[in-house]
Structure 1
Amino acid sequence: MNNVLEFIRECQENVFSGIGITSQDAEKLFNIPDENVPDLAKAANQITRDFNGKKVDVEQLNNIKKNACSEDCSFCGQSAFFDTGIETYQLPSAEEVVIKAKKAKDEGAESYCLVAAWREPSTRDFDKVCNIIKEINDKVGINVECSLGFLTPEQAKKLKELNVKRYNHNLETSKSKFSEICTTHTYDDRLKTLQIVRNAGLELCTGGIIGLGETRKQRIELANELAALYPEEVTINILVPVPGTPLELQVKLENSEIVRMFSVIRFLLPESVIKISGGRETNLTDSGEQLLQSGANGIITSGYLTMGGNESEKDFNMIKKIGLEA
């Protein structure tokens, strides 16, 4: 046990000194004994506080185009391949989105992310989204983020011109697992869009979903793949099985495995926002208190793409309760 604690401290010191840890170090941290997971979490929390202070990044989402997506991602209730009974709607008016963005800002959200369920935006839909962004900029004044699928370089450049702060495009899972999760596009397709986003000067948000039936080794693989991209934000979802999808009977991850993921990512990416995303209310008994003290420093509040979440007031109270700030 002393050797394990020594190794955790050594890795922590390497992070503090700017040396960082290697992918091999990350694998060793991920595989420490269960009894040392609290020590790992404590060290990750100290890294978070040192690099990021007490601030928790609070975000709200707006699923502006819902369901009937052409891709077959096996976890997703919005795929046209699966009968999940989720309602379908197309892009709303800019006025409708502005009302919701104002509400998000009034409730204390720092950023507002526009998400659309499609492979990529058509020219017509992209123009509509750009108009929505302009209206939010003019009438609300909140950081706008987008998750619109695959982008062309021209589209990414346009989003940058509209002062979109950050673009989300998740890896979803590790490269070795990806073909089991999706067959309608490839892992490399996703990396290509991330590079397009980077080249346009947008901040990068990327992450994935844990609990898809992947091995711990594949979670380590994903963590190292994310670290290689050095995104400004990492968003980690915890699977909520959706009836009608191939993963509807997937067994929940152990809490210790979730803590390992968030903690090790913090060692790898000390300066990034690490956000607890979909699934925290259903997979965690404390809605994220433990993870916000184990490496995470961001949450999504007030619901997700196809399911509800905590009211923002409850989340802000939770953040305050554990001595953090939003």
Structure 2
Amino acid sequence: MQNETELITECRNKVLSNQKLTEEMTTQLFNVDDKILSQLSDAANEITRTFQGSKIDVEQLANIKKNYCSEDCSFCSQSAFFDTGIDKYQLMSAEEVVRQATDAKKAGAHSYCLVAAWREPSNKDFEKVCHIIEEVNEKVGISIECSLGFLTIEQATKLKELGVIRYNHNLETSESKFPEICTTHTYQDRIDTLNTARKAGLELCTGGIIGMGETRKQREELVQAISKLNPEEVTVNLLVAFPGTPLELQTPLSLEEILRVFAVLRFLLPKSIIKISGGREVNLDDDGKELLLSGANGIISSGYLTLDGNSMQKDVKMIKEIDLEA
């Protein structure tokens, strides 16, 4: 136990002095005994406050195109492969997105992410998305991020020209687990898309979903892979076992296993935003307070792609209750 305590201290000191951890140290850190997880949490919190301050990044999503997706990702209620009973709509009008973005900004959102359920945008749909971005820029003035699936370098460059700050494309899970989760595209396809976005000058947001039946070793594999991409933002979702999907009977992860992911990510990426995303209201008893004191410094508020969430007002109150800033 003493050796693991010393390991946490050594790793914390390395990070605070701007040194990187080795993969071996990361593995040891990821597997410390449950009895000293509070020490891991405290060290991650110290790193967060040192590099990030007390401000929590609050983001709202816009599901601008819902369902009908051609991919068979086994966690996803929007896949055309599964009958999940959710409502469906094609690409949202610019007027509606502007209205929602305006409301989000007024409620306290710092950024607004446009998300579309498809493999990749057609030329026609991409033009419509560009028009939406232009309208939001002109009429709202909120930081825009996008998650539009696979992109060409020309499309990524156009998003950059329109002022999009960051592109989201999640790895979803570890490379070793990926073939069990999706068969219609590959893990490398996702890496290639992130590389395309980076080449176009966009900041990266990537992450995954934990609690899909992966092992702890596979969660560590995902954390290591995210770290190597050096994204400006990491988004970690907690699986919501949606009825009608292949994972509908999946058992939720324990808080201890969730905490390991957030804390170790903070050791590896001290200067990145690490965001608690989908599933926090379902999987966590405190809406994320403990994780915001264990490495995380961002949340998605006001709902997710197909699930309701807490109101922005409730989340802002929650953040202030732990003496952090919204």
**Normalising to structure 2: TM-score of the pair?**
0.99
2:315 corresponds in structure 1 to 315
1:274 corresponds in structure 2 to 274
Q: Deviations over 1:260-307 (max 9, x none)?
A: 000000000000000000000000000000000000000000000000
2:239 corresponds in structure 1 to 239
1:189 corresponds in structure 2 to 189
| 2: CA distance, partners of 1:92 / 1:18 | 44
Shift of 1:219: 0.3
Matched ranges for 1:206-221 at <5 A:
206-221=206-221
Shift of 1:87: 1.0
**Identity percentage over the alignment?**
67
1:175 alignment partner, SS class: coil
The list of structure 1 runs, each at least 4 consecutive aligned residues, that deviate by more than 4 angstroms after superposition, is none
| 1: CA distance, partners of 2:5 / 2:53 | 24
Structure 1 residue 110 corresponds to structure 2 residue 110 = yes
| 1: CA distance, partners of 2:115 / 2:189 | 19
Matched ranges for 1:280-319 at <5 A:
280-319=280-319
1:68 alignment partner, SS class: coil
1:16 corresponds in structure 2 to 16
1:58 corresponds in structure 2 to 58
Letter in 1 for 2:246: P
1:76 corresponds in structure 2 to 76
1:161 corresponds in structure 2 to 161
Shift of 1:238: 0.3
Structure 1 residue 90 corresponds to structure 2 residue 56 = no
2:289 alignment partner, SS class: coil
Q: Which runs of 5+ in 2 are unaligned?
A: none
Q: How many residues align?
A: 326
Letter in 2 for 1:300: I
Letter in 1 for 2:216: R
2:251 corresponds in structure 1 to 251
Letter in 2 for 1:130: C
| 1: CA distance, partners of 2:301 / 2:18 | 32
2:74 alignment partner, SS class: coil
2:208 alignment partner, SS class: strand
| 2: CA distance, partners of 1:94 / 1:31 | 47
| 1: CA distance, partners of 2:92 / 2:183 | 30
Shift of 1:19: 1.3
2:199 corresponds in structure 1 to 199
Shift of 1:57: 0.4
| 1: CA distance, partners of 2:92 / 2:207 | 27
Q: Deviations over 1:204-237 (max 9, x none)?
A: 0000000000000000000000000000000000
Shift of 1:171: 0.1
| 1: CA distance, partners of 2:226 / 2:8 | 21
Shift of 1:3: 1.5
Q: Deviations over 1:62-92 (max 9, x none)?
A: 1000001000000000000001011110112
2:176 corresponds in structure 1 to 176
| 1: CA distance, partners of 2:47 / 2:209 | 23
Q: Deviations over 1:76-129 (max 9, x none)?
A: 000000010111101121111100000000001000000000000000000000
| 1: CA distance, partners of 2:135 / 2:80 | 30
Q: Deviations over 1:10-45 (max 9, x none)?
A: 000110111121121111111111001111000000
Range with greater deviation from structure 2 (85-94 or 121-130): 85-94
1:31 corresponds in structure 2 to 31
Shift of 1:243: 0.5
CA RMSD, Structure 1 to Structure 2 (Å)? 0.5
1:224 corresponds in structure 2 to 224
| 2: CA distance, partners of 1:218 / 1:304 | 25
Shift of 1:2: 1.9
2:103 alignment partner, SS class: helix
1:209 alignment partner, SS class: strand
2:177 alignment partner, SS class: helix
**Normalising to structure 1: TM-score of the pair?**
0.99
Shift of 1:249: 0.1
Shift of 1:258: 0.2
Q: Which runs of 5+ in 1 are unaligned?
A: none
| 2: CA distance, partners of 1:217 / 1:58 | 30
1:143 corresponds in structure 2 to 143
Letter in 2 for 1:69: C
